[in-house]
Amino acid sequence: MIGYTSLGTADLARSVAFYDALFDELGAKQVMAFDDFIVWGDDTGGAAFSIHVPENGKPYSVGNGVMIALKARNKGQVDTVHAKALELGGSDEGKPGFRVDGFYAAYFRDLDGNKLNIHHVAG
């Protein structure tokens, strides 16, 4: 259903370094790169993720209530990606653990304050 998600940034180069390292943990890589935005994807052809400098020329700001959820292959990958986000300078918004039966997740903010979730649903 989702083709891609986009978040804004105040510093494209800083965000690219953060997401290059983070998405390496998920097997994704840059698939498009322009002066004002970068897109990451994987070989599955599933949803992509992008970071953009605001197109309207106004200063970047975090969307209140906005969160992007990234899918992990297993619980270990949730732990690894959350730890990597913090190692890269992101901030913790919820340590890895079960939120409800079968839903294992962790929450963090990127370097611009955007909120992300990494999760695995046990099937």
For residues 112 and 121, what is the distance between their CA atoms, to the nearest angstrom? Answer: 27
Q: Which fold has domain 4-54+66-121?
A: 2,3-Dihydroxybiphenyl 1,2-Dioxygenase; domain 1 (3.10.180)
- pLDDT of 7: 94
Count of CB atoms situated within 10 Å of the CB of 45: 7
End-to-end CA distance of the chain: 20
Cα separations in angstroms, 84 against 54, 58, 87, 92, 101: 26, 30, 5, 11, 25
The ranges assigned to domains in the chain are 4-54+66-121
Q: Which pTM does this prediction carry? A: 0.85
pLDDT one-digit tens code per residue, 97-113: 999 899 999 999 999 99
pLDDT one-digit tens code per residue, 43-96: 888 899 999 999 888 888 888 778 999 999 999 999 999 999 999 999 999 999
Structure tokens at 56: 């309207």
For residues 37 and 53, what is the distance between their CA atoms, to the nearest angstrom? Answer: 6
Name the pLDDT band for 122 (thresholds 50, 70, 90).
confident
